[in-house]
């Protein structure tokens, strides 16, 4: 078996052993995406999202009961686990959105990107994808791209999209700033790539 097949075999075995654990479904989906097996990846991502959401809710309910019982240490651990699972679910929603985009289902993809931002309001790439999906509604698209750069200032593509959307004469300076930021970020990325390639 090739290395990817070996990895997938182990992930499938993990699912057989513990079918209610979301991680193996997510990582198996990533493997399937690399092999361009998108319908299969979609099913595994949907399962990962479902299981992570269910587990997060269970930990949240347990946290509430522990707080009511004045068991604050245990409640804190449950709260942490619930938040961890929600962040995991957000990443899975984002990946599922990308798969759905590739499969040509933009409305379903946008729904997943929205859910991702609700679960993790700092997931900049999901805001970027929402902006790309809303380009026909310039104000909405601009708001999404602004949220993207607020969550992660280093997303050059989001700055570039903002610069393209900001066309009013009185905002030319703002547009220019976003173009310059995008250029600086891209130059920085290219420089890092060259450093890695030539050992700089």
Q: What's the confidence (pLDDT) of residue 192?
A: 53
Backbone phi and psi for residue 120, each to the nearest 5 degrees, phi listed first: -140, 95
Q: What's the confidence (pLDDT) of residue 17?
A: 95
Backbone phi and psi for residue 121, each to the nearest 5 degrees, phi listed first: -65, -5
1-121: CATH superfamily: Tetratricopeptide repeat domain (1.25.40.10)
**What is the third-level CATH fold of 122-200?**
1.25.40
- Nearest-angstrom CA–CA distance, 49 and 90: 8
Backbone phi and psi for residue 100, each to the nearest 5 degrees, phi listed first: -65, -35
Q: How many CB atoms lie within 10 A of CB 128?
A: 22
Handedness of CA 17, 19, 23, 27 (dihedral sign): positive
CA angle 30, 96, 20 (to 5 degrees): 70
Cβ atoms 33, 103 nearer than 8 A = no
**Positions of CATH 1.25.40.10 in the chain:** 1-121, 122-200
Q: What's the confidence (pLDDT) of residue 167?
A: 65
DSSP state of 171: G
Q: What's the confidence (pLDDT) of residue 88?
A: 96
Q: What is the pTM of this model?
A: 0.84
Cβ atoms 78, 63 nearer than 8 A = yes
Q: What's the confidence (pLDDT) of residue 188?
A: 66
User: What is the gyration radius of the CA atoms in the chain, in angstroms?
Assistant: 20
| Torsion region of 104: left, alpha or beta (phi above 0 gives left; psi -120 to 50 gives alpha) | left
What's the average pLDDT block by block, 10 residues per block, for the chain (200 residues)?
81 94 95 95 97 95 96 95 96 98 96 97 97 93 96 92 74 80 76 45
């Amino acid at each position: 078996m090739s290395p990817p097949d070996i990895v997938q075999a182990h992930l499938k075995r993990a699912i057989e052993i513990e079918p209610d654990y979301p991680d193996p479904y997510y990582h198996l989906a990533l493997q399937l995406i690399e092999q361009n097996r998108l319908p299969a990846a979609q099913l595994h991502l949907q399962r990962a999202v479902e299981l992570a959401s269910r587990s997060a809710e269970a930990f949240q309910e347990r946290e509430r009961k522990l707080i009511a019982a004045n068991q604050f240490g245990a409640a804190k651990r449950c709260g942490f686990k619930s938040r961890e699972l929600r962040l995991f679910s957000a990443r899975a929603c984002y990946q599922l959105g990308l798969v759905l985009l590739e499969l040509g289902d933009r409305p379903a993809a946008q729904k997943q990107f929205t859910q991702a931002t609700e679960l993790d309001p700092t997931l900049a790439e999901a805001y970027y994808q929402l902006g790309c999906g809303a380009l026909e509604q310039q104000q909405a698209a601009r708001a999404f791209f602004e949220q993207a750069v607020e969550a992660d200032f280093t997303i050059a593509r989001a700055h570039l999209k903002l610069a393209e959307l900001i066309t009013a004469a009185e905002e030319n300076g703002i547009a220019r700033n976003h173009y310059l930021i995008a250029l600086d970020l891209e130059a920085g990325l290219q420089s890092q790539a060259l450093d890695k390639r030539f050992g700089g």
